[in-house]
Structure 1
């Protein structure tokens, strides 16, 4: 001890090293050995070992439930603590802070927030099919509201929790030391309820996860009885009307999987459950018809669902609905006010596809199965039959342990009663011995000497019980009662011995299996009432989804779409003068196009990509609008340089003629790049909405960019102007028409330090473009002055020894309007 104290009292970072050098400390020698071992272990091996320990701890002690009681360790410790505190279903509620504090201090030192969250979930009727905790106060809601702080809420156990803890007092399960060894806790609770399937489980461990749906208690018990009747039953036979029909979620809804899909899920232990809410048209209301939603899929936030529906309504994407109203109380009720003549099936179809009114529940029946070590379970994904099998054999083990404990208690009592019976005929002598004794110890010695155990007399335990016997028990009536009790105890002990002597593991007709069967049947009878017996979720194997197109939910009306040079876009019903429209400071209107809300609009970028969407998807705004990056995935430095409406009234015929596929369509597009290249291409491939990444219409050389895209018919002349005061006028038909994205052909040949500033397509106009030079002069380029030449030349010099600073663009013209008739 002195050497250890000397070792610990050494100070300084080099103290242990100096002790090694002089060899005078045994502790220093141990340090040297430890350091040497640590240095000899590779870092990868050490990290792997420690991470495996950590992952095993998370898997077995935090995240995964046990197949036997269906509980995670924190849930088990909460129920065990409440049981110790006497918080049964008839007790007075107690503050949750008291429960959480005892759980954290005695069994689960992982923080009060995680413990309270687990306690809250066990009390939520919309989270568990059969809540294990009866909460008083605010325990959250299906709207996503958080529970009140633990100092405000109170709790006690529910009657079903008593079934989970029923056999705990007789120590029918193994116990283990708690984290500091100061007390014991059960390894698993002796649950009579198949809690893993009834309430389900959700957890994320390291490298694995679990997601088990809740089920109906009556159906699971019927499946257990079915398995007991026929141990060789197939998995698919357990998924039937007289057993497990499918999951039964506390929030109801519809399960639209086929019977074959459900059987495959329960056989493999994984799969996807398709969930829908339920709704019904209420035709009894005055005025507009009302579509009433009475249940939502499990795990869906109701307030978020209502908010999403109203968002679709207000943005015009769900025009068949006027408004969504949340009228829920204890039961869910969401009223969708429909327009007159609206098809409710179309509304539901849209909700199924664009909201959480239909969602998937990914089943993963991973849990801990028992091993040879009762304190450690092994993670495994099980099918339905395997889960039921493990639970049944766990109940057999609990029953066997209960019978063994009961038999031990009976034998102890019988032993005492046999001592009473032995001295009843010698009461007078026993009393005389006691009266002549000097105390209890002396009396016990004399009695055992008078009635020695070797000759069928009394032992120490029997003698002590006789001395503690109250005098009134010596009455003849009491003696008869003791003899009757002895007779009953011997009879019960013989019954238990007979049950324990049976080979019950594989003999499902044995007495112990009969008791297990009886307990399951009693469970069905005890909870054969609402809301536990009646199914909440409906199995709908023939559900159909109406076919619809996006146009069915668009209100067809004319509108205008405006794009600015900085890439802001907005939609309005009418823009009379784009130059007076609101834009951000320093920004300008690029273009303004017209069309119908059901029509598409294409945005052409400087990198040769076209982004197409429906006009209804453009945000409606009277302000600045929204950045176009919210609609599409633009790359760094990419900007919108043109927009084209694909409304037939605006653009005309853009499809190719199948009889003359070599000819370009009547209306097509022309694009030119800053390095002097140009191409013509068709618009038919871009007239349908694209993904957020768009479709490529041109391949631009590195360092160059598309400067503009315009629609043409092929008879126009093209004026191109470069920065170094060169201009060219050529026929549009000289530019090659490409069937796919390409580089194009040379429009104007540029010098090394020159670039194309802009171009214009015109049909015989005399004045084509006005430019401003760096000397402040404005020049108008006209077909009267510059003749039409072949493409690919250097063009005509506008001014010597100067440059064009900008192209003078007129204010954007008012977009076209249409006759309402």
Structure 2
């Protein structure tokens, strides 16, 4: 154990700088702790590492660690905006080998995103080659692409050479990397950020550089300004996405988002009516929401057109080049406002951006940030004070360099009048060390003479600097350096809480103003996303976008459903092996169809939403959320041409409607209920029409008018024939009334409503005999009894249903 402990301490000393996992392993080896406590501790350490070292950006430079390391590596390679492009593989390799040992794919993905103009409002990398597209195309391999930094990236890296920010050892302690870049650009808001950590996430939208800078200046003028005052026309108006689009939030909604640091941005694409011709109108889409795949959007629109769900549009064509252009060819009588309303509802042409202004804020330890959700003012405030700390450090470094130079120049000035004596001492000396010792003895520092540093500078002085003119240059330089040092000392001694008079805040203000002047002239940096509150949304009616045509919908016993324009013979339709047709209904594509399940739930959808297929169709579970063991037992078309009027008579609310439904359960209960409440499309979970006891199930549902005769058959060869009027009509879901009293081992197999036909139903016994149940042989009785005995011995194996015929489709 002692040897293991020694090895542990050695490994720990080598990896102390980067928090090696050896500490975790050794603790587990040397101590005994509960598994729950160890797992909790390790997971907390892991989550903190993900939060601070990968997923969340820093409020100061707005960068994640991988982005920061990429830019720092490129600055070391000299890849500024005027340099020649260099292979991305070289940059990625250096980043991975020196600072970010997490695989080249993640590094290259981050580099590619920083070069995409549709991902960042102001890209930090200038890429050469294929860096992907808004259509979702992947970037070429890093061995084929090249990169360098953009001018705005130079502003992010400004003052880095003078070490104005803290540095920390890299993962193996072989070199140093900056904790944060001394960015002059409020990059967190300008380019935004998206990241998912452990237990938290961030989603910061991009903004316009000029507006953010104006907000910074506004905050400097009035530090007590409120969050809502920063959301104004002369400051931050709202997000500004690189793909443009239209933001429909109200000013109050935006102010609430920027005050709390969270909320929803309502973003939609923009379009305009371009031309009108004999063939129709053209609606041109010139902007799409941020983060939307353009090719997927066009594919979705064409899918809706070809499926008949978008009849107002003939075709969608993608004519985009560098700018987005999607032409929608409309029909002559199409209303473009209705077309836009449909696009907003059924495609990604309108999308929500969920704002979450979570980032890392500085703590007492400069190497570790703390995650926090901030408001707009807090983000700007942190950035301004970060710029103050960078400027202060820059001035302190400059002052230290000036003082070192002044000290040397003062030594030169001191010996100007004794140059001949200095030269004589040097000529008589045995070397540099002997000369330095003799000069310092002649001009001792204790009496205002020379120290070792000044003496070394004098000995290194070139002979031509002893000329008269050169001596004057040195004296002039000394004067200028002393003047500049006094200016810096004054700046460093001013009150940083005085935002209007402080010299350092004046410098920061001028730097922000220069950013506005340098980068606001470019047309690409103008506001792209319009902020327009929609006063009135166009009225949307789903029926207006459905082609009215007749169709058949077929359901199988195993729950497969499909729609066809016409089915001549349902019994010959294609079904899966072992499956068979349950029912086939007809109606218009604009009407609804109800699917009734064994647990007493009705699922309603428009017929146009049933998948069209000439094959097996699709499982009904794709349309609705059925429970385990639940199955469809019946389907009813709500087309008024197929079913009679189902609305209740307002003059006689106590009476049931003319056409309604009757359901029978396997435990002998029956109920009648209205269909009006089920005619409208439902959610995926459906609406309940019956309350079925545990162990029982609905066996069938059929449309009745109340004048029919009902025949229910049980497994023990009993049949109940009664009038439909005896079954109570319920206004809501219920268990119903007893239709037939069953023995403990019996159950209802099915039922059929009839208008008085003599031959009602044919059944087959377990002995293979077929029996036809007829009103000529069995009399109609009251409900609630045991019914008629069909056969003394044996069981009914199944009900033989007649072949399912395709229902007739009525013309308008």
Which residue of structure 2 aligns with residue 458 of structure 1?
450
- Alignment check: 8 A CA contact 1:143 1:303 kept: yes
Q: CA deviation at 1:773?
A: 3.0
Q: Matched residues in 2 for 1:224 and 1:210: separation?
A: 22
Q: CA deviation at 1:190?
A: 1.0
- Higher mean C-alpha deviation, range 592-601 or range 370-379: 370-379
Which residue of structure 2 aligns with residue 38 of structure 1?
31
Provide, for residues 489-528 of structure 1, a one-character-per-residue CA deviation record: whole Å limited to 9, x for no partner: 2221222122222222334322111111111111111112
Provide, for residues 55-112 of structure 1, a one-character-per-residue CA deviation record: whole Å limited to 9, x for no partner: 2222222222221111122221211111111111112222222222222222222332
Q: CA deviation at 1:744?
A: 2.4
- Alignment check: 8 A CA contact 1:609 1:697 kept: yes
Q: Matched residues in 1 for 2:233 and 2:714: separation?
A: 80
Aligned counterpart in structure 1 of residue 359 of structure 2, from 361, 367, 378: 367
SS in 1 for 2:642: helix
Q: Matched residues in 2 for 1:140 and 1:269: separation?
A: 31
Distance 1:335 1:731, change over 3 A: same
- Alignment check: 8 A CA contact 1:256 1:543 kept: no
Q: Matched residues in 2 for 1:766 and 1:152: separation?
A: 83
Distance 1:532 1:515, change over 3 A: farther
Pairing 1:794–2:786 present: yes
Q: CA deviation at 1:792?
A: 2.6
Matches within 5 A, 1:32-181: 38-39=31-32, 41-181=33-173
- Higher mean C-alpha deviation, range 365-374 or range 273-282: 365-374
Q: CA deviation at 1:161?
A: 1.0
Distance 1:670 1:501, change over 3 A: closer
- Alignment check: 8 A CA contact 1:768 1:781 kept: yes
- Alignment check: 8 A CA contact 2:220 2:499 kept: no
Aligned counterpart in structure 2 of residue 318 of structure 1, from 310, 318, 321: 310
- Alignment check: 8 A CA contact 2:762 2:772 kept: yes
- Alignment check: 8 A CA contact 2:279 2:331 kept: no
For structure 2, the 5+ residue unaligned runs are: 8-25
Q: Matched residues in 1 for 2:540 and 2:363: separation?
A: 54
SS in 2 for 1:650: coil
SS in 2 for 1:616: helix
Q: Matched residues in 1 for 2:712 and 2:436: separation?
A: 126
Alpha-carbon RMSD across the aligned residues, in angstroms, is 2.3
SS in 2 for 1:729: strand
Q: Matched residues in 2 for 1:702 and 1:772: separation?
A: 28
Aligned counterpart in structure 2 of residue 262 of structure 1, from 245, 254, 265: 254
Q: Matched residues in 2 for 1:299 and 1:170: separation?
A: 38
Q: Matched residues in 2 for 1:50 and 1:7: separation?
A: 21
Which residue of structure 2 aligns with residue 705 of structure 1?
697
Q: CA deviation at 1:535?
A: 0.4
- Higher mean C-alpha deviation, range 430-439 or range 690-699: 430-439
Q: CA deviation at 1:795?
A: 2.9
Pairing 1:744–2:739 present: no
Q: Matched residues in 1 for 2:552 and 2:609: separation?
A: 13
Which residue of structure 1 aligns with residue 471 of structure 2?
479
- Higher mean C-alpha deviation, range 410-419 or range 153-162: 410-419
Distance 1:623 1:67, change over 3 A: same
SS in 1 for 2:195: strand
Q: Matched residues in 2 for 1:532 and 1:333: separation?
A: 18
- Alignment check: 8 A CA contact 2:221 2:499 kept: no
Q: Matched residues in 2 for 1:597 and 1:583: separation?
A: 23
Q: Matched residues in 2 for 1:261 and 1:35: separation?
A: 52
- Higher mean C-alpha deviation, range 466-475 or range 270-279: 466-475
SS in 1 for 2:752: strand
- Higher mean C-alpha deviation, range 722-731 or range 600-609: 722-731
Pairing 1:240–2:235 present: no
- Alignment check: 8 A CA contact 2:74 2:148 kept: yes
Matches within 5 A, 1:220-369: 220-283=212-275, 287-369=279-361
Q: CA deviation at 1:436?
A: 2.8
How many residues are matched? 795
Matches within 5 A, 1:425-440: 425-440=417-432
Matches within 5 A, 1:712-727: 712-727=704-719
Q: Matched residues in 2 for 1:319 and 1:741: separation?
A: 38
SS in 2 for 1:242: coil
Q: Matched residues in 1 for 2:467 and 2:802: separation?
A: 123
Aligned counterpart in structure 2 of residue 631 of structure 1, from 623, 629, 645: 623
SS in 2 for 1:489: helix
Q: Matched residues in 1 for 2:622 and 2:153: separation?
A: 51
Which residue of structure 2 aligns with residue 586 of structure 1?
578
Provide, for residues 97-130 of structure 1, a one-character-per-residue CA deviation record: whole Å limited to 9, x for no partner: 2222222222222332222222222111111111
- Higher mean C-alpha deviation, range 667-676 or range 85-94: 667-676
Q: Matched residues in 2 for 1:38 and 1:385: separation?
A: 48
SS in 2 for 1:559: strand
SS in 2 for 1:563: strand
Q: CA deviation at 1:456?
A: 3.0
SS in 1 for 2:133: coil
Q: Matched residues in 1 for 2:663 and 2:426: separation?
A: 122
Distance 1:94 1:699, change over 3 A: same
Q: CA deviation at 1:44?
A: 4.0
Provide, for residues 215-255 of structure 1, a one-character-per-residue CA deviation record: whole Å limited to 9, x for no partner: 11111111111111222222222111111111111111111
SS in 1 for 2:361: strand
**TM-score, structure 2 as length reference:** 0.93
Q: Matched residues in 2 for 1:731 and 1:718: separation?
A: 6
- Alignment check: 8 A CA contact 1:576 1:815 kept: no
Which residue of structure 1 aligns with residue 198 of structure 2?
206
Distance 1:625 1:498, change over 3 A: same
Aligned counterpart in structure 2 of residue 733 of structure 1, from 691, 709, 725: 725
Which residue of structure 2 aligns with residue 651 of structure 1?
643
Which residue of structure 1 aligns with residue 21 of structure 2?
none
Pairing 1:182–2:162 present: no
Q: Matched residues in 1 for 2:5 and 2:515: separation?
A: 64
Q: Matched residues in 2 for 1:584 and 1:36: separation?
A: 60
Aligned counterpart in structure 2 of residue 694 of structure 1, from 686, 698, 713: 686
- Alignment check: 8 A CA contact 2:728 2:737 kept: yes
- Higher mean C-alpha deviation, range 254-263 or range 48-57: 48-57
Aligned counterpart in structure 1 of residue 410 of structure 2, from 415, 418, 429: 418
Q: Matched residues in 1 for 2:492 and 2:6: separation?
A: 58
SS in 1 for 2:641: helix
- Alignment check: 8 A CA contact 1:726 1:795 kept: yes
Q: CA deviation at 1:286?
A: 6.2
Provide, for residues 461-491 of structure 1, a one-character-per-residue CA deviation record: whole Å limited to 9, x for no partner: 2222222222222233322222222222222
Which residue of structure 1 aligns with residue 19 of structure 2?
none
Q: CA deviation at 1:759?
A: 2.3
SS in 2 for 1:649: coil
Which residue of structure 2 aligns with residue 544 of structure 1?
536
Provide, for residues 290-342 of structure 1, a one-character-per-residue CA deviation record: whole Å limited to 9, x for no partner: 21111111112222222222222222222212222222222222222212211
SS in 1 for 2:280: coil
Which residue of structure 2 aligns with residue 811 of structure 1?
803
